[in-house]
Structure 1
Amino acid sequence: MINKYITKESKWDISLYLPALQWFFVALVIRLIALIIIHFYSIQSGFNGFIPMSSGGDDKYYYDVAKSMLNGNIPTTLPNYYPYFLTFLFFIFSPSLFLGQLANVLFSSITVYFGVLITREVSESTKNQYDLRNPVNIAGFLLSFYPSSIFYSTQLLKDPMLIMIGIISLYLLIRLFKNFKMKNLVMLIFTLIILSLLRGYTMLALLIASFIYILFSNKISFKYVIALLVLFALIPMIFGYGIFGLNFINNILNPKKLSTFRDTVYSIGGSAAGIKIDFSSIYGFIFTYGYSFITAMFGPLPWQIKNLTIAIGLIDAIIVWVLIPKFIKGVKNIFDRRNITIKELVFLFSFILIAAIALFSDNIGANTRLRMLAWDAFFIYAASLYNLKSSKKSIKNENVNGDI
C-alpha cells in the first residue's frame, strides 16, 4: 500500500514532516561540528580559515569580491551571482568568513530536509516512520552523512546554495506533477531563475529531465505539457540561453569549444583523469564519453588513484558503488514505460546532470563538487526503491486527481 506520507496531504499534520525535521537537525549538528573542526584547523595550518588545501579554491575569491562589492566596487564580470548573496549577508551583519560558511551549513541541512520530503513524495513503504528501513530514513542517512556534502558545506563556495535551490526545485516540480497548483508553478519559476544565476546547465538539466519524463510517461495531463513547455521555452530564453535553451545546448555540444574548455580548465592539475573525448567517430565517442560518464558518476575508479587527494574521493565512491544495482534499476525503468513513476523523474535529473558534467569535466577532484546535486538526487531515488511495495492498486492511487 502507499505510504501514509504520500496519501495524507494535510499540511497541518506535523507528523508528515517529522522525519524531515529530524534529519535536518542531524545534518545540522554534523555539519556544525565539521565546520568548527575544519575552520580552526585551517587557521592553525596557515590557511586563514579558507579551504585547507594547497590547491586552494574559489572561496577566497568569493570572499574578497563580496567585501569589495560591499564598498561599492562592482566587478564588470562575475562567474555567477553568489558574491551578491555574500555581499547582502555581509551588509546585514558584517564581513565574516565564518558567517558565510555557517550560512552554507544551514543551506546543506535544508537540502537534507527537502531531500527527505521528496523521498516521502515518491516512495512506497509499509515501514513505520521511525523504522530506519523506511525509505525516508535511508535517504536522510545518505544525505546527512554524504562526505563531500559535509566538507563542502563548511566552505565559502556557491555549491551548498546551488544544491539547496536545486533540491527545492525538484521538490516543487514533483508537487506540481502530483497536484497542479499555480503557487507551486510560481515558486518553481522563482527557484529556476536562481538556478540560472548560479549554474545554468543545472536548470536546463532539470527541465530536460522533465521533458523526457513527460514523453516516456503513459499518462500525462495536457496542463502539465503546456506548463512545462512554457518553462522550458521561456526561462532559458530570458537568461540568454535561447528558446528551449537551444543556444546554450548548441554551444556546449560544439566539439571544438568543448574540447578546448575541457583541456584548458578541467584537464589540468593532479586530479585530472586524462580522458580525452573522441569526436572523430561515433564509436570513439561512445567509448571515451562513456568512460568519462562512468568516472563522473562512480569515480575515482581504483586504477585512477594517483595521489592522496584522489584517494580521498574513494570515501564517496564506495557509497555509490554499493548502490550500483539501484542505478541499473533506474536505467531499466526509464526504458520500460510500464515501470515509470514519479520517482523516475528524480533519477532522470541525476542521470542528465552527470551526463552534462561528463562532457566538460576531466577532473576527479572537481567532480566531487560538481556532482553533489546529482548524487543527492540519486540517493533519494535509491532510497525510494527500498522496501518497495508495487501493485496495480498503488499505481492507480498514484494517478488520482491528475497525479503522475
Structure 2
Amino acid sequence: MNFLEDKKKLILKIIAIFLILVLGISFFDRGLANGVAFIIFLAAITFFVLFKIGINNKELYLLFIITLLIRLGAVLFIHYADFQPFSGGYGDYVVYQKQAQEIAQAVGQGNFSLKGLSIGLYYPVVIGYIYALTMPEMLIGRLFGVWLAAISVLFVYLIVLEIGGTRKWAFLIGLIIAIYPSYLFFGSLLLKDTLIIPLVLAGLLLILKLIKNFLWRNFIFFYVILGATIHFRFYIGYAVLFTFIFCWLLLCKLQIRKKLVCGIIMISLLGFLPQFLGYGYYGYKTIKGYLNQKTITFYREIVYASIPSSAVISSEILSPETPNPKEEGVLKKLLVKVFPNIGKASDTSYSSTIEVKTDIDDSSNFLINYSKSFICVLLGPLPWHIQNYRQLFVLFETIPWYFLLFFIGKGVFVTLKDKRIALPLLVFSAISLGVLALFISNFGIITRIRIPSFIALLCLISLGFEKSKSIKIL
C-alpha cells in the first residue's frame, strides 16, 4: 500500500527512537525491563503465529507495532505519573494485584492449588502466573494489557476485512481503536476488561467466519472463547451467545438439511456453557435472578447511588496551583452555560451516577425511562451529566464519538440494506448496550463496559465508504 510505503522510513525512525527511550529507562527500573522483555516475547510469538497461518499483510504487522507503542506510552505515563483522576487510587485493580501477588508467591513455592484464596474469577490467576514467570510488579500486569490491546486491534483489522471493508479502512479503524480514550485509559490498568475485549472481538470474528463458511474447527474455537467470555463477564458473554444463534440461523447459507443438523447440535451444546459455570442451562438461573423488578431497581437506584468514603483525595492534589480569581470566574461562567450541573458535586467526589427512576410498575414510564437510559449509554455522558471538573476528561471521548456516529449510521444503513454479513456487529452492540441501559446508571462504569460494543460499531464505518479509493490516511 503506497500510503504506508511513503511514510515507512519516518515510522521506523519514530519506532526506533521510542524503543531506545524505553530501553534506556529500563536500565533504572527492573520491573519495566522485565515487562518490556515480556511483551517483546509475546509480540514475537504473535508474529510467528500470524506467519504460520498465512497472514503476510505488512499493514497488519505495522498496525500491531504502532498499537503496542501507543499503549506502552499510555501505560508508562499512567504508571509513573500515578494518573488516577477518577478513583483516587482505589479500584478492582488494587484487589487483583494483591490476589495475583499471593498466587505468584504460592506458585514460586511449588503450590499450584488455589485453595484458601478468595478468587471469584481467573483474571488474577492469569496475572499471578505471569508474575511467577517474571516478577510481582503491577507494571508487568499493565504491560500484559498492552499486548492484549494490540491483539484487539489485530482482530478489529480482520473483522473489517471479513465484512467487506478495504485494507485502508481496516488500518484506519485499527488506529482509532488504538487511541480510543476509554480503552486507552482502562486498558492501561490491571482490570479484567483487558482480557474481555479481545475475547469478545475474537468471538465476533469467528461468528463472521462461521456464517460465511461453517467449520466445526472454528466452532470449537468459538466455544472455548465464548466460555471464557461468559466466565469473565456473563452478560457480555450472553450477548455474544445470542448474537451467534440469531445471526447464524438467519444468515448462514448451508443446505437446509445440513443447517438443521448443525444448528440442533450447536444450540444444544451452547446451552451447557453457562451451566458449566453454575449459571444454569442457557443462563436460566442468572436470567431469572436478574430480570425481575427488585433486582433491576436495586442495581439502577441503590448500588451506584452512594459514594464510597475511601474514594476521596485531598484538594491539594486536585488543585496544586491557585488560579487567578477573575480568570476562574469567567471560566466557571462559561462552563456552567455548557454544563449546567458542573460544580454541584464536590471536586473530591467520585459520583458519576445518572439518576433515572425504574418505574417498572408503570409500563409507559418504564419505557420512557429505559429509553433515556439507553440514550445515556449510547451518547453519554451528556453535558448536564457532568457534575465536577474532573469529569470533563470524558469530552476527549464523547466529542469525537458524536462526529463518528454520523459515519457509523451510514455503515448501519449499508449493513441493513446490502451487507448483511456485518449484522452480528450491530446485533451484539444492541444487546450489550441494552443490558447496560437496563441495569447500570453510573457512566464511569458504562464507559468501561461499553468498549467492545463501541468497537463493534466503529467497524461498520468502513461499509459506508467501501467505494472511497482515493482517501489518504497517512
TM normalised by structure 2 equals 0.71
Q: Does 1:143 align with 2:181?
A: no
Q: Number of paired residues? A: 364
After TM superposition, list the pairs within 5 Å mapping 1:162-177 onto structure 2.
Answer: 162-177=196-211
User: Which structure: larger Rg?
Assistant: 2
2:398 is aligned to 317
- Out of 50, 75, 79, the position equivalent to 1:35 is 75
- Out of 225, 244, 251, the position equivalent to 1:191 is 225
Consecutive unaligned residues of structure 1, counting only runs of 5 or more, are: 1-9, 390-404
Consecutive unaligned residues of structure 2, counting only runs of 5 or more, are: 1-50, 107-113, 308-350, 469-474
Pair 1:384–1:135, CA change in 2 (3 A): farther
Q: Does 1:251 align with 2:330?
A: no
Q: Is the Cα contact below 8 Å between 1:20 and 1:112 reproduced in 2?
A: no
Give the CA deviation at 1:346. 1.0
Give the CA deviation at 1:110. 0.7
2:245 is aligned to 211
| Paired AA for residue 267 in structure 1 | A
Pair 1:12–1:167, CA change in 2 (3 A): closer
> Helix, strand or coil: the match of 1:32?
helix
Q: Is the Cα contact below 8 Å between 1:51 and 1:57 reproduced in 2?
A: no
Q: Is the Cα contact below 8 Å between 2:196 and 2:232 reproduced in 1?
A: yes
Give the CA deviation at 1:256. 0.4
1:117 is aligned to 158
Distance 1:289 1:207 in 2: 23
2:277 is aligned to 239
1:364 is aligned to 443
Give the CA deviation at 1:264. 3.2
Distance 1:60 1:366 in 2: 17
Pair 1:253–1:330, CA change in 2 (3 A): farther
2:127 is aligned to 86
1:268 is aligned to 306
Q: Deviations over 1:16-44 (max 9, x none)?
A: x33332221111110111111111101xx
Q: Deviations over 1:211-269 (max 9, x none)?
A: 33245548565155335413432212222222222322222211101211333333334
Deviates more, 1:163-172 or 1:224-233: 224-233
1:345 is aligned to 424
> Helix, strand or coil: the match of 1:177?
helix
| Paired AA for residue 372 in structure 1 | I
Pair 1:190–1:324, CA change in 2 (3 A): same
2:137 is aligned to 96
Distance 1:75 1:383 in 2: 50
Q: Is the Cα contact below 8 Å between 2:211 and 2:248 reproduced in 1?
A: no
1:20 is aligned to 60
Give the CA deviation at 1:310. 2.7
| Paired AA for residue 307 in structure 1 | N
| Paired AA for residue 67 in structure 1 | Q
Pair 1:286–1:40, CA change in 2 (3 A): same
Pair 1:51–1:97, CA change in 2 (3 A): farther
TM normalised by structure 1 equals 0.82
Q: Is the Cα contact below 8 Å between 1:330 and 1:344 reproduced in 2?
A: no
2:365 is aligned to 284
> Helix, strand or coil: the match of 1:323?
helix
> Helix, strand or coil: the match of 2:271?
helix
Q: Is the Cα contact below 8 Å between 1:124 and 1:388 reproduced in 2?
A: no
1:393 is aligned to none
Deviates more, 1:209-218 or 1:235-244: 209-218
Pair 1:383–1:142, CA change in 2 (3 A): farther
| Paired AA for residue 206 in structure 2 | L
1:397 is aligned to none
| Paired AA for residue 91 in structure 2 | G
- Out of 381, 388, 409, the position equivalent to 1:307 is 388
Give the CA deviation at 1:372. 1.0
| Paired AA for residue 295 in structure 2 | K
Q: Is the Cα contact below 8 Å between 1:176 and 1:184 reproduced in 2?
A: yes
> Helix, strand or coil: the match of 2:182?
helix
2:466 is aligned to 387
Q: Deviations over 1:338-369 (max 9, x none)?
A: 64611111111112111111111111111111
Q: Is the Cα contact below 8 Å between 2:354 and 2:442 reproduced in 1?
A: yes
1:155 is aligned to 189
Pair 1:96–1:318, CA change in 2 (3 A): same
- Out of 378, 400, 412, the position equivalent to 1:297 is 378
Q: Is the Cα contact below 8 Å between 1:298 and 1:317 reproduced in 2?
A: yes
Q: Deviations over 1:108-130 (max 9, x none)?
A: 111001111111100244xxx4x
Pair 1:217–1:329, CA change in 2 (3 A): farther
Distance 1:204 1:55 in 2: 32
| Paired AA for residue 27 in structure 1 | T
Give the superposed CA RMSD: 2.6
